[in-house]
Amino acid sequence: MKILVLNPNTSVTMTAEIDAAARSAAAPGTHIVSTQPNFGAAAIDSAAESYLSAVGVMDVVATQLAAGTFDADAVVLAGFGEHGKDALQEMLDVPVLDIAESSAHIAHLIGRRFSVVTTLARSIAPIEDRLLLAGLGAHCASVRACGLGTAEVDADPAGAVAAIVAEAERAVTDDGADVICLGCAGMAGVTAAIAEKVGVPAVDGVAAAVGLAQMLVGLGLSTSKAGVYAAGPGNARTHWPLSQALGT
Amino acid sequence: MKILVLNPNTSVTMTAEIDAAARSAAAPGTHIVSTQPNFGAAAIDSAAESYLSAVGVMDVVATQLAAGTFDADAVVLAGFGEHGKDALQEMLDVPVLDIAESSAHIAHLIGRRFSVVTTLARSIAPIEDRLLLAGLGAHCASVRACGLGTAEVDADPAGAVAAIVAEAERAVTDDGADVICLGCAGMAGVTAAIAEKVGVPAVDGVAAAVGLAQMLVGLGLSTSKAGVYAAGPGNARTHWPLSQALGT
Amino acid sequence: MKILVLNPNTSVTMTAEIDAAARSAAAPGTHIVSTQPNFGAAAIDSAAESYLSAVGVMDVVATQLAAGTFDADAVVLAGFGEHGKDALQEMLDVPVLDIAESSAHIAHLIGRRFSVVTTLARSIAPIEDRLLLAGLGAHCASVRACGLGTAEVDADPAGAVAAIVAEAERAVTDDGADVICLGCAGMAGVTAAIAEKVGVPAVDGVAAAVGLAQMLVGLGLSTSKAGVYAAGPGNARTHWPLSQALGT
Amino acid sequence: MKILVLNPNTSVTMTAEIDAAARSAAAPGTHIVSTQPNFGAAAIDSAAESYLSAVGVMDVVATQLAAGTFDADAVVLAGFGEHGKDALQEMLDVPVLDIAESSAHIAHLIGRRFSVVTTLARSIAPIEDRLLLAGLGAHCASVRACGLGTAEVDADPAGAVAAIVAEAERAVTDDGADVICLGCAGMAGVTAAIAEKVGVPAVDGVAAAVGLAQMLVGLGLSTSKAGVYAAGPGNARTHWPLSQALGT
Amino acid sequence: MKILVLNPNTSVTMTAEIDAAARSAAAPGTHIVSTQPNFGAAAIDSAAESYLSAVGVMDVVATQLAAGTFDADAVVLAGFGEHGKDALQEMLDVPVLDIAESSAHIAHLIGRRFSVVTTLARSIAPIEDRLLLAGLGAHCASVRACGLGTAEVDADPAGAVAAIVAEAERAVTDDGADVICLGCAGMAGVTAAIAEKVGVPAVDGVAAAVGLAQMLVGLGLSTSKAGVYAAGPGNARTHWPLSQALGT
Amino acid sequence: MKILVLNPNTSVTMTAEIDAAARSAAAPGTHIVSTQPNFGAAAIDSAAESYLSAVGVMDVVATQLAAGTFDADAVVLAGFGEHGKDALQEMLDVPVLDIAESSAHIAHLIGRRFSVVTTLARSIAPIEDRLLLAGLGAHCASVRACGLGTAEVDADPAGAVAAIVAEAERAVTDDGADVICLGCAGMAGVTAAIAEKVGVPAVDGVAAAVGLAQMLVGLGLSTSKAGVYAAGPGNARTHWPLSQALGT
Spell out the SS3 assignment of E166-183: HHHHHHHHHHCCCEEEEC
What pLDDT is stored for residue C2 in this prediction? 98
Tell me the per-residue pLDDT of D56-96, one tens digit each, with 9 for 90 and over: 999 999 999 999 999 999 999 999 887 899 999 999 999 99
Closest residue in F to A91 (Cα) is F48
Residues D106 and D187 in one domain: yes
Question: In this predicted structure, what is the pLDDT of residue F116?
Answer: 97
pLDDT at position D65:
98
* Residue B55 touches chain A, beta carbons under 8 Å: no
- The whole-number pLDDT of residue F187 equals 72
pLDDT for the residue A248: 82
Does residue A178 share a domain with residue A142? Answer: yes
pLDDT band at D189 (very low <50, low <70, confident <90, very high): confident
CATH label of the domain that carries residue E193: 3.40.50.12500
- Shared-domain flag, residues F48 and F93: yes
Nearest CA to CA, how far is E223 from chain F (Å)? 4
Distance of CA C226 to the CA centre of its chain: 25
- B241: preceding bond cis by omega (within 30 degrees): yes
Decide if D54 contacts E84 (C-beta within 8 A).
Answer: no
Q: Which of E14, E55, E88, E152 to mutate to test the interface with D (most CBs of D within 10 A)?
A: E55
| A212-235 residue pLDDT tens | 999 999 999 999 999 999 998 889
Give the residue ranges of DSSP H helices in B111-225. 124-133, 150-155, 157-175, 191-197, 205-219
Residues F106 and F152 in one domain: yes
State whether D155 and D194 are in the same domain.
yes
In terms of domains, do B199 and B146 share one?
yes
The predicted model gives F87-102 an average pLDDT of 97
- List chain D residues with CB under 8 Å of C203: 221
Q: Would you call the peptide bond into D241 cis, given omega within 30 degrees of 0 as the criterion?
A: yes
Q: pLDDT confidence of F32, banded at 50, 70, 90?
A: very high
Q: Average pLDDT, stretch B171-191?
A: 88
Q: For residue D150, what pLDDT is reported?
A: 75
Q: Do chains C and F touch (3 or more CB pairs under 8 A)?
A: no
Q: Which of F110, F215, F223 sits opposite E223 (nearest CB)?
A: F110
pLDDT confidence of residue B24: 95
* F189, pLDDT greater than 80: no
Strands D31-35 and C40-41: unpaired
Q: What is the DSSP string of C37-87?
A: -SSEESS--SHHHHHHHHHHHHHHHHHHHHHT----SEEEE-SSS-S-HHH
Report the share of chain F in percent with pLDDT over 90.
85
Question: Residue C50 pLDDT more than 80?
Answer: yes
Same domain, F105 and F199: yes
Are A171 and A143 in the same domain?
Answer: yes
F145 plus F196 within the same structural domain: yes
pLDDT computed for residue A158 by the predictor: 85
- Those residues of chain E that have pLDDT short of 50 are none
In a shared domain, residues A92 and A215: yes
Contact with chain C for residue D106, Cβ under 8 A:
yes
The C-alpha of E41 sits at a distance from chain D's nearest C-alpha, in angstroms, of 4
Q: Find the CB nearest A224 among B105, B110, B226.
A: B110
Residues of chain D in contact with residue C227, where contact means CB-CB under 8 angstroms, are 111-113, 176-178, 200
- D123-179 pLDDT, tens digit each: 999 999 999 999 999 999 999 999 988 778 778 888 889 999 999 999 999 999 999
Query: CA torsion sign, B172 to B177 to B181 to B183?
Result: negative
C178/B contact by beta carbon, under 8 A: no
Which chain E residues contact residue F181 at CB under 8 A? none
Instruction: Tell me which chains share at least 3 CB pairs under 8 Å with chain D.
Output: C, E
Q: Do E135 and F136 count as a contact with CB atoms less than 8 A apart? A: yes
Query: What pLDDT is stored for residue B160 in this prediction?
Result: 87
Q: What is the mean pLDDT of chain D?
A: 94
> Total structural domains in chain B?
2
Query: Once rounded to an integer, what is the mean pLDDT over residues B149-165?
Result: 84
Across the beta sheet with F202-204, the strand order is F140-145, F114-118, F179-182, F202-204
Neighboring chains of E (3 or more beta-carbon pairs < 8 A)? D, F
User: What number is the ipTM of this complex?
Assistant: 0.96
Q: What is the mean pLDDT of chain B?
A: 94
* Closest residue by Cα to residue E43 from E79, E75, E16: E79
Percentage of residues in chain C having pLDDT higher than 90: 85
pLDDT attached to residue A155:
80
pLDDT of res. C203: 96
pLDDT digits (tens, 9 = 90+) for C96-130: 999 999 999 999 999 999 999 998 899 999 999 99
E 112-141 residues inside an 8 A Cβ radius of F: 112-113, 134-139
D172 contacts chain C (CB < 8 A)? yes
Asked if B83 lies within 8 A of C51 by C-beta distance, the reply is yes
Q: What is the pLDDT of residues A95-143, one digit of tens each?
A: 999 999 999 999 999 999 999 999 889 999 999 999 999 999 999 999 9
Q: Residue C117's pLDDT is what?
A: 96
CB-CB neighbors (< 8 A) of E194 in chain F: none
The yes-or-no verdict on residue A199 having pLDDT over 80 is yes
Task: For residue B136, list chain C residues with Cβ-Cβ distance below 8 A.
Answer: none
Q: Which residues contact C234 (CB under 8 A, 6 or more apart)?
A: none
Residues 6+ apart with CB under 8 A from E143: E115, E116, E118, E124, E127, E128, E131, E183
C226 shares contact with chain D (CB less than 8 Å): yes
| Mean pLDDT, residues A14-30 taken together | 95
What pLDDT does residue B215 have? 98
Residue D204 scores a pLDDT above 90: yes
Residues D88, D108, single domain; the answer is no
Q: pLDDT at residue B242 above 90? A: yes
**Per residue in E41-55, pLDDT tens?**
999 999 999 999 999
For D25, the closest chain C residue by CA position comes to C219
Query: With 90 as the cut, is the pLDDT of residue F141 above it?
Result: yes
Whether residue F190 is predicted with pLDDT greater than 90 in this model: the reply is no
Q: Are strands B40-41 and C237-238 parallel, antiparallel or unpaired?
A: antiparallel
Interatomic CA distance for residues B106 and C241, integer angstroms: 38
- My answer on whether B111 and B174 are in the same domain is yes
Q: Which domain holds residue E33?
A: 2-98+208-246
**Three-state secondary structure of chain D:** CEEEEECCCCCHHHHHHHHHHHHHHCCCCCEEEEECCCCEECCCCCHHHHHHHHHHHHHHHHHHHHHCCCCCCEEEECCCCCCCHHHHHHHCCCCEEEHHHHHHHHHHHHCCCEEEEECCHHHHHHHHHHHHHCCCCCCEEEEEECCCCHHHHHHCHHHHHHHHHHHHHHHHHHHCCCEEEECCHHHHHHHHHHHHHCCCCEEEHHHHHHHHHHHHHHHCCCCCCCCCCCCCCCCCEECCCHHHHHCC
